[in-house]
Structure formats: structure tokens, C-alpha cells
Amino acid sequence: MGEWMAFDFIIVGAGSAGSVLAARLSEAADTSVLLLEAGPEDSNLWIHIPIGVAKTIRDGSVNWLYSTEPDAATGNRAIPLPRGKVLGGSSSINGHVVTRGQPEDYDSWAAEGNAGWDYESLLPYFRKSEDAIGFKDPVRGHGGPMTVKRSQGLDELTGLLIEAAGQRGIPYNPDPNSRNVEGIGHTQRAVRGGRRVSAARGYLKHARKRPNLTVVTNARARRILFEGRRATGIEYVVGDQVHTAHANREVILASGAIGTPQLLELSGVGQAKRLKDLGIEVVRDLPGVGENLHDHYLARGAWELTQPISMNERSRGLPLLGQVLKYAFTREGLLANAIAHMIIFTRSTPQVERPDLEVTLTPFTATKATDFKSLDKTPGVFMSCVPLRPKSRGHVHIRSADFNDKPIIQPNYLHHEADQQATVAGLRLIRSLLTAPAFDHCRGDELWPTSDKQSDAELLQYARETGLTIHHVVGSCRMGPADAAEANVVGADLRVHGLDGLRVVDASIMPSIISGHTNFPTIAMAEKAADMIRAANKNHSGQ
């Protein structure tokens, strides 16, 4: 590339948002776009096989392998926090479960002063982004880049859970991505032809053929360049070579809820005292950078089954060979599925106005291994519960002025009493489902938590000591009005408060987390952002 080049737009991060932005902004033939990705091309085989998340979740070649700071509220553990470091970002290594959340999630953003971010305003972009196969609800999209299909597989086990849910008053919902999410339904997966549909595959595969889009992988952004209060470019490193790229119009940060605040602080944008203490020259005192970090915290139940209806017994020997052959010839079967096969959206108590709890069924157990390295030899099932709208808030900040140092990540899981109560309610619901009459003929022992843990205090302590993140970190560059700039980082136009030529487009801008998985909402947000950016630059050539 050389030491210095100019582009109309520079996008930092080729993840769920950055891939969308690069594809959409480069649709104008005389608009030049540079997309920088810190990780490699998405050539790793396990990225593309849907079940391969069990491998990529711990693979440092495509994963930042972050960890949270130890915290007494979660057993003083450093909890692994995977984030994608590869073309496609976390959409290349996640569980590819597709959810949108609830309309009220987005309406609350708009009510906080973010005009245009309500559900009805985002709905066209949800529809534009997806190709929902087998779904007829008018809110669903068809013909978009991201294929969405219903999960298939272990019909006997999923059928039993549907029956058990009905026995506990939870109805079947044929499409939890409609306006009504409540009930139990099959998970929906981002898979086409038996292969993962990441944002890179959905958006960049064809866009990269355009001469006006330049994609540079293994390119680590070191700092944003400023002239006064205007962002003018990016300094980045490939190997041991430092490069500089100039942005004629805008620099757009799309590095996620960890990477974006990290780059802002390294570049002098953040709380002034924190930056000065690290020897960083302050460009803009913006205390909200890195604050408001929150995430979905997951607690699990595990049960033995007395009948061979799980993945455990299919994960070795001839049954495994059968699944491999099925995938090879049909691109279907267990290897083509999301890890979670069923999803429940329900209320932790009858007094809650709308579903605030997610429960998923994973048709295997791995109680004697970590990170799903090997499944148990006897049949079993995991079920997980997640409070959907956690009230606990944390932070992410740079550790030093060295861009190679991993940041300090502290989500403060389970600090708020409401999150504790919802987690305990979720564990009790899992126990209720698996002790329903539907499972009487095949129920074995309760493995996690053990049956002696009955009180709320015992269940909460179990969740503190064993819970994990579900990898949905958001909120660290909160969107909101400039008059609350102590807390907010970007406005509804996604421009960083008090700076010119700089926007943030990724999950870090979410004022509050949505009631579901964050990948597809981030893609829809980026679709909307692309239209906003094009409209704002319409007086330039090529717009």
C-alpha cells in the first residue's frame, strides 16, 4: 500500500458492522473505502462449519481471547470473553443464533433522546439484511445477504422440551423473531448451504470485487489521527510496518464494545484524567468512553438422560461418522446446526411486563471438560438461562498507552440484585422444565447444579462460581444526547460528541442491551448507519 494513501471513508474493524458499512458505502463507484481488520482472512475451516464454534471459541488465531478482571461477585474468576479477530469479526466465531430482541428495546432508545432508533425505524433494515427461509411474517425479510433458517436435528429431544414447556404454561412460538417473542421456539441460524453466513460472507464476498473497496487484513489500528478536533485518518500496523491512511470524509470505528473504546482512549478521547495519567495527550475529554459496559451472563443446568436422544452418543464412533457423512452429502445434520437448538423467551415473575429471561436447550453435556472439548459419554442435556435486560454496569479501559496491551474489562456481572433474582428464577425454570412429566421416561440425575442446592442463596452462589458470558458485550460508547456527554459518547447520528469526521457504528453504541442475541441487531444498525452516512455526504462526488 505504501506509507500514505487517501480514501473517502476509513472503517476500522471488519466485523458485523464494519462488513456491512464497507459493502454499502462502496456501492457508489466513485467513493473509495478502506476497511481495516486486525485479524486474518476467514480461511479457517472451523469458521465455516456451523458446529465449529466449539473450536473457534478458544482459537487465538481468530479470537482476541479476552478475559474479564477477577470479581468477587463471580467467584474471583477471570471469565473468558471471546471476540472475533478475523474477517467477519465475532459473526465468524459466534453461535450464529439469530434474534432481534423486542420492539420495546429499541423504542426505549428513542425515548432516551435517540430519534430514529425506535423499532419501526429499524424494521426496514432488519428486513433488508436477511433472507428468512420458511418464515412468512411480514416483519421478516427475503432476498437479503444474511440467510436465516430454522434449526433442525434432534426431533425427539426438542419435541420433549416443547411438551414440557407446554406443561409449564409456556406456549410454542413458531417465530420468536416476529413482534411477539414470548414462548418456546426452534432457534434460527445464520447458515446457507451448510456453511456459516458471517457478515464477511454475506456482505464482503461480492463487495470485495469492487475496485473502490480496499480490505487490509492483519492490520492493527494504533491510533486515530486528528487535526484539532477533526479526525483525519488512521495510523495502523501490518507486521512491523507502520502505515498511515487519510480520510477525506470520515473515520468510522466498528471495532466492537471492547476495541472501539480502546482505540478512542489510545487516541486521546476519553476521561481526561485517566488519559493524562497514562501519558496520553487529550484530544477530547469524554468521560463516557468505556463506561456503561454490560453483557448477558449465563448460568447452566445439566441433566443426564436415560435414553440415547442427545448429541453425546452421536459424538464418537460410527454415529459420529454418520453425522460427518450426512453433512458431507447433504450439508445438514448436527454439524450444520447452531449449538443451541431451542430457545425460550419468558418472564422471570408474573409481575414482569414483558419477557426478561432467555432459556436455551443445548442437546449435549460436557461436564468433565472445558469449552466443549469432549462430550460426556452418556446421554445428557445442557439448559442455560440468561437475564435479558441486566442492570449491572461495568467498564472497559486501556491498561497502558501501548496498543498491544489488552484492556481492563470489568462487566460487573451479578452486581445488581435484580440480575441475581432473575438468574435464580432462570435456574428454577430449568429445573421445572426438566422435571416436567414429558421427561419422566428419560430423566436421569441432575448434574449442575446438584440436587442438594435448593435455596435461592445456594443457587445464586452456584451461578456466581460457574456462570459464563454469552458474549454480548455492548454499551461502552453509549448513544445519547450531547447534553448528557458525561455519560454519552455519540449522538443519534453516531458522530462522536465534540469531534468532527468521526463516527462509531457497532454494538458499543447501544444505550441498553437488547432482549436477545446482538449480532443481527448490530447488522441492522449498520445498514441504517450506512444510509445515514450516505445522506450526510450526498453533496460529495459519488453520493
| Active-site annotation, residues | 472
Q: Which segments of 382-518 does DSSP mark as H helices, in order?
A: 417-434, 456-466
CA 206 from chain center: how many Å?
A: 24
Measured CA to CA, the distance from residue 62 to residue 58 in angstroms comes to 9
Residues 6 or more apart whose CB falls under 8 angstroms from that of 362 comprise: 339, 340, 341, 381, 382, 383, 384
CA 526 from chain center: how many Å?
A: 14
Measured CA to CA, the distance from residue 207 to residue 292 in angstroms comes to 34
- CB-CB contact of 293 with 393 (8 Å): yes
- CB-CB contact of 543 with 534 (8 Å): yes
Measured CA to CA, the distance from residue 278 to residue 348 in angstroms comes to 44
Measured CA to CA, the distance from residue 121 to residue 528 in angstroms comes to 9
Three-class DSSP category at 109: helix
Measured CA to CA, the distance from residue 459 to residue 451 in angstroms comes to 10
**Beta bridge pairs of residue 10:** 34, 251
Measured CA to CA, the distance from residue 47 to residue 197 in angstroms comes to 10
Helix axes 103-111, 119-129, angle to 10 degrees: 130
DSSP letter, residue 279: T
Of residues 157, 360, 377, 400, the one with CA closest to residue 275 = 400
Residue with cell 421478516: 140
Measured CA to CA, the distance from residue 81 to residue 66 in angstroms comes to 5
- Vertex 56, ends 52 and 60: CA angle to 5°? 160
| Lateral strand order in the sheet of 394-397 | 291-293, 394-397, 408-410
Measured CA to CA, the distance from residue 204 to residue 85 in angstroms comes to 16
Residues 6 or more apart whose CB falls under 8 angstroms from that of 259 comprise: 12, 13, 38, 83
Q: Of all residues in the chain, what percent are helix, strand and coil, respectively (each to 5)? A: 30, 25, 45
Residue with cell 466485523: 15
Residues 6 or more apart whose CB falls under 8 angstroms from that of 291 comprise: 393, 395, 476, 478, 487
